[in-house]
Amino acid sequence: MNSSELKNLQAPLKAKYKQHPESAIITLKANGTIGEGISCKVETGRALIQAGLHPATGGNGLLACSGDLLLEALVACAGVTLKAVATAIGIDSITGTIKAEGDLDFRGTLGVSKEVPVGFQEIRLFFILDGKIDSEQLASLSKLTERYCVVYQTLIKGVKVNTDFKTS
C-alpha cells in the first residue's frame, strides 16, 4: 500500500467521522474464560491465549503473562501505527523491529510491600528502523507514531477503568 492508497482508503472514514462524530465511537471488547488452575483463556480474534501467573509469582512459565501481553499489544499497536504513518508521509520502504520492555517489582503484586506499587514502574519502547530515513523523517515518524498509537497514548495518559463484579 502506498500513501495515496492509504489516503483514499481513509478519506471516506475521516469525512464520515467529521460529519457524524458519534459514528467514530467504537467499543472494542476482549473476552476471557477462567481456566483450570490459575489461568484465564483470552479470545484474541486470531487465536486463543491462555494467560497465567508469571514465574515470579509462582507460575511455571508455560502460560502467557498478562504483563507480556500488555507489552506485546504496545509493540503491535506501535508497529502498525508507525507503518501507517510512514506510508502516509511517503516513506514506502520502511522496515525494522520494535521492542518493548518494562520493569515490575513483584513485591507489590504479591503484597510483600504496600509501599511498592502494583504494575509497571517504567516501560521502554525501542524502534530500530532500516531504510533511507533522514533525521527530519525520523522526527516526524516519532512524533506522529506517539501521537496516534492508541496503546501508547492510553498508557501515558492513563484511563479510568470501571469494574463490576457479579455472580451468575
Q: What is the mean pLDDT of residues 74-83?
A: 93
pTM for the model stands at: 0.86
Q: Which three cell numbers stand for residue 25?
A: 465511537
Q: What is the mean pLDDT of residues 38-46?
A: 76
- Domain count across the chain: 1
- Confirm whether 80 is domain-assigned: yes
- pLDDT-derived band of residue 131, with 50, 70 and 90 as boundaries? confident
Residues of the domain holding 109: 3-157
- Confirm whether 162 is domain-assigned: no
Alpha helices in 20-134 (DSSP H): 66-88, 106-109
Q: Which three cell numbers stand for residue 65?
A: 503473562
CATH number of domain containing 111: 3.30.300.20
